[in-house]
Chains A and B, each alone.
Chain A
Amino acid sequence: MIAQNAAVLVVVLPLLSAPLVALIRNPAIAGAAALVIAALDAVLATLLLCQTLDGTVISYHLGNWAPPIGIEYRIDLLAAAMACLLSYAATLVALFLPVSLQGAVSPGDRPRLFAAFLLCLAGLVGIVVTGDIFNVFVFLEISSLSTYVLIAMGAGTDRRALTAAFDYLILGATGATFFVIGIAFLYVVTGTLNMADLGERMATAPKRAILVGSSFIFVGVALKAAMLPLHRWMPNAYAYAPAAIGTFLAMTATKVAIYMLIRMSDFVFDTPGEIGRVNFAALLPPIGLAMLLAGSVIAVTTKDLRRLLAYSSIANLGLMLVALGLGGVAGIAAALVNLFNHAIIKGGMFATTAAVLHRRGSTRMEALAGLSKDMPVAFGLLVLGGLALIGVPLTAGFVSKLVVIKLAFDQANWLVVGGVLLTSLITVAYIWRIVEAGMLAVPEKPRPRRDLHPAFILPAGLLGAATLGLGIWSEPMLTLASRIAAQMIGTAP
């Protein structure tokens, strides 16, 4: 029974546990409950991945109404893989969430924060498993609302979290409005909300309404994906949110927006690999390249480790957009390799940063002095992640960059090749700043040697190990990505 209903349980489990967790009074029990639920959700997502690995597409009719009358959950390999990414990320973060909230959020508020965390997870998973575009909007609202709250909870340590959350609230709400206006246009001219059905009926619909509708949807998603010039909310949100929440968002939030771009290019817009009739795909490489360069350059000048990582994320999102814009099966596959690998690399670095913040109370560059002596493991993990961001061989980052460069090389797109190589050099500069701050800077006073709090060892260590592992043994990720891409385009792998 669980196996055949896993499609809906993967969303409903965290969604309905959240109100219960919110009512628990003891923060320790609530934290443990959140961890257990996230872990169970990861099991369900894994189950879905196993069921879809052979190319099966699960179609689950909610309320037993056949689509397009009712809402359909439609889980292909891409949806299952994304659900895995989201629930694994939540489980790893839930391991150190309670510890990292110490001193930042009062104990009485923590159960509600755990509930908001579960709602955020449920919202994001709900977006990736559904086949109904209005259902996407509903779950986008759930995840966005809970994200605003989670970011604002950083105010216990830094009041700037409030303005960061407010900025994101205004921009995110604007993005959601654009998205829903776009849905309305598409609905008026097609009469359906089911994405597969929509894709078929668009061909005969009035062109202007489709054009405007898809443009509004594109802008809404672009905002969520922090696409230049709509990226302003992102660095502050990542830097001032509670560190554990920042880790979760870095691994999931913008990734889901990229997922939406890929999904909509297949379902809502009938030209696979190209987004819409106005062909937004042509926009993606220039925007992506601009993000690559701007993100990397600003990262070099930041004074705070978490802001540095956030700007580096903008650069990496740029890389995914470039890959997506290059088009075709290979383009989607390259974007997906980047998406998963970057979630792992950046997740590991943010988790390590959360551990540093927990010990030192700050992630400003000056506060890192002496890190290599008294937190050698944390420093090692940061450097490992940094090497992966640069794209050094034997790390996952090397694989990601290689697939993009290879693809651009095949298409003789020298601008992309040059841009990616140039940013690798700039990445060396900002990673060197971490090394310099952590190893060469002389601390004001010697600190006792206290490495990572035990709660951080498993998540940060696992993500670090995966960064190395997927670099050395890159085959599974590449196969998975190309299988997904082939399924999306509709060709045999």
Chain B
Amino acid sequence: METLLMIGLLAALGALAVAIAFMDDLLVVTMLSGIFSFTCCAIFVLFDAPDVAFTEACVGAGVSTVLTLAAIRLTGRREKRVGRRASAVGLLVSTVCGLALVYGTLELPRFGDPAAPANLHVAPHYLNESAAEMGIPNVITSVLGAYRGYDTMGETVVVFTAALGVLLLLGGSQSRPLHRGDAPARADRDVILRSVATLFVPMTLFLAPYVQFHGAYSPGGGFQAGAILGGALILYGLVFGIDRLNRLVPERVLQVIAALGVLTYGGTGLVTLALGRNFLDYDALSAGPTGQQIGLTAIELGVFMTVTCVMTLLFQRFASRRSEP
């Protein structure tokens, strides 16, 4: 059953990819990529990776679709044809790459094989020792936050860099005052949309902290919670207008909190350094699993701050920009 489902989903991914490649209506392409992301979510769930599915649903299907739509609003809906439609070299290169990937996977261990090298080397330590070392049941959180916490700090900085880039490119300070747009959903017409959003946004506001703090026990954590809260704020801005969103969370505040998020994460590392331990060695904070838990809570908070604010900032920037005359 699961195999059939997987085959069906993968076939759908292939079909969607081909359709996207040949479509020249960008609005349709955006919608199809949204569906592509949702199909990916289903596959991730089948692979027992619900936290990745979470993020993909929120960021891949939700936020990035909204941002692409905002970009299309600024540029145009139709793709301009330039040059040749398809090149023989391109086809050859992608065929070779595809064949190489197939060739490489032929010898790989079966999915979930307990004797696979990936499950025998470092993974046993993560699975067996995490409960004693961290005192939390969710191993993924302990790998992301503690064992490989430095990588996660890097990823948080990547998110921050993206915001910095968008602020620089979409006219940061020299830009015109934020454009006062109409609410996309009109009070007299879009009753359903507005009522659904009115119900939905507060619920999301509760879901985000739950996902954040429940990250120790179930799939979740700063990235997911940040994406959810950012998504809720974007939904608010979409339905009730960018002006209300800007009044609710001014851009400068978001900038400061996004930076503070990175500093919270890095600062945790600096504190452990100051206490005479290695960078991000949470044992410095307190003995045993408690120290690890304090450290994990602090860094997840940093991730949450940065991700939420960057999501919202990106939307604000795109939505506040007038299309070029």
Seen from chain A, the residues whose Cβ lies within 8 Å of a Cβ on chain B are 1, 5, 8, 12, 15-16, 18-20, 22-23, 60-65, 68-71, 106-109, 112-113, 115-116, 119, 122, 126, 134-135, 138-139, 141-142, 145-146, 148-149, 152-153, 181, 185, 187-192, 201, 205-209, 211-213, 215-216
Sorted nearest first, the 4 A-B pairs with minimum C-beta distance are: A108-B173, A212-B104, A191-B121, A19-B259
Which residues 254-280 in B have Cβ within 8 Å of A in the complex?
A: 255-256, 258-260, 262-263, 266-267, 269-270, 273, 276-280
CB nearest to B252 among chain A residues: A23
Query: Considering the chains assembled together, what is the distance between the CA atoms of A141 and B172 in angstroms?
Result: 23
Nearest Cβ on chain B to A483's Cβ, whole angstroms: 28
Asked if A126 and B154 sit within 8 Å, CB to CB, the answer is: yes
Query: Assuming A12-B266, A135-B150, A212-B101, is B173 touching A146 (CB within 8 A)?
Result: no
Asked if A209 and B154 sit within 8 Å, CB to CB, the answer is: no
Query: Considering the chains assembled together, what is the distance between the CA atoms of A18 and B255 in angstroms?
Result: 13
Q: Which of B117, B154, B256 is the one whose CB lies under 8 Å from A201?
A: B117
Asked if A1 and B276 sit within 8 Å, CB to CB, the answer is: yes
> B158 on the interface (CB 8 Å rule)?
yes
Query: Assuming A109-B172, A209-B104, is B161 touching A71 (CB within 8 A)?
Result: no
Q: Which residues of B contact A61 (CB under 8 A)?
A: 278
Asked if B259 and A146 sit within 8 Å, CB to CB, the answer is: no
Asked if B158 and A142 sit within 8 Å, CB to CB, the answer is: yes
The secondary-structure label for the interface of chain B is helix
Chain A binder among B163-171, B222-230, B240-248: B163-171
Asked if B121 and A64 sit within 8 Å, CB to CB, the answer is: no
Query: Assuming A112-B172, A138-B151, A142-B161, is B259 touching A64 (CB within 8 A)?
Result: no
Asked if B117 and A189 sit within 8 Å, CB to CB, the answer is: yes
Asked if B104 and A109 sit within 8 Å, CB to CB, the answer is: no
Nearest Cβ on chain A to B95's Cβ, whole angstroms: 15
Asked if A135 and B168 sit within 8 Å, CB to CB, the answer is: no
Asked if A23 and B161 sit within 8 Å, CB to CB, the answer is: no
Asked if B125 and A8 sit within 8 Å, CB to CB, the answer is: no
Q: Which residues of B contact A119 (CB under 8 A)?
A: 157, 161, 164
Query: Assuming A64-B281, A145-B158, A145-B165, is B121 touching A106 (CB within 8 A)?
Result: no
Q: Which of B122, B165, B174, B279 is the one whose CB lies under 8 Å from A192?
A: B122
> B76 on the interface (CB 8 Å rule)?
no
Q: Which residues of B contact A191 (CB under 8 A)?
A: 116-123
Query: Considering the chains assembled together, what is the distance between the CA atoms of A61 and B280 in angstroms?
Result: 10
Q: Which residues of B contact A207 (CB under 8 A)?
A: 107
Query: Considering the chains assembled together, what is the distance between the CA atoms of A148 and B259 in angstroms?
Result: 20
Q: Which residues of B contact A65 (CB under 8 A)?
A: 146-147
Best-buried of B107, B146, B154, B172 by chain A (most CB within 10 Å): B154
Which residues 96-124 in B have Cβ within 8 Å of A in the complex?
A: 100-101, 103-109, 116-123
Nearest Cβ on chain A to B148's Cβ, whole angstroms: 6
Query: Assuming A115-B164, A126-B154, A145-B162, is B277 touching A212 (CB within 8 A)?
Result: no
Query: Assuming A62-B278, A212-B100, is B168 touching A116 (CB within 8 A)?
Result: yes
Best-buried of A18, A19, A209 by chain B (most CB within 10 Å): A19
Nearest Cβ on chain B to A377's Cβ, whole angstroms: 33
Asked if B109 and A188 sit within 8 Å, CB to CB, the answer is: yes
Asked if A112 and B162 sit within 8 Å, CB to CB, the answer is: no
Asked if B121 and A201 sit within 8 Å, CB to CB, the answer is: yes
Q: Which residues of B contact A208 (CB under 8 A)?
A: 103-104, 106-107
Query: Considering the chains assembled together, what is the distance between the CA atoms of A16 and B100 in angstroms?
Result: 40
Q: Which residues of A contact B54 (CB under 8 A)?
A: none
Nearest Cβ on chain A to B285's Cβ, whole angstroms: 12
> B251 on the interface (CB 8 Å rule)?
no
Query: Considering the chains assembled together, what is the distance between the CA atoms of A208 and B109 in angstroms?
Result: 12
Asked if A139 and B174 sit within 8 Å, CB to CB, the answer is: no
CB nearest to B281 among chain A residues: A64
Query: Considering the chains assembled together, what is the distance between the CA atoms of A361 and B267 in angstroms?
Result: 43
Asked if A19 and B101 sit within 8 Å, CB to CB, the answer is: no
CB nearest to B269 among chain A residues: A12
Extra contacts, 12 of them, besides A5-B273, A145-B161, A190-B117 (Cβ < 8 A), are: A1-B273, A8-B273, A16-B262, A62-B149, A63-B281, A106-B174, A148-B165, A187-B118, A189-B108, A190-B118, A209-B104, A211-B104
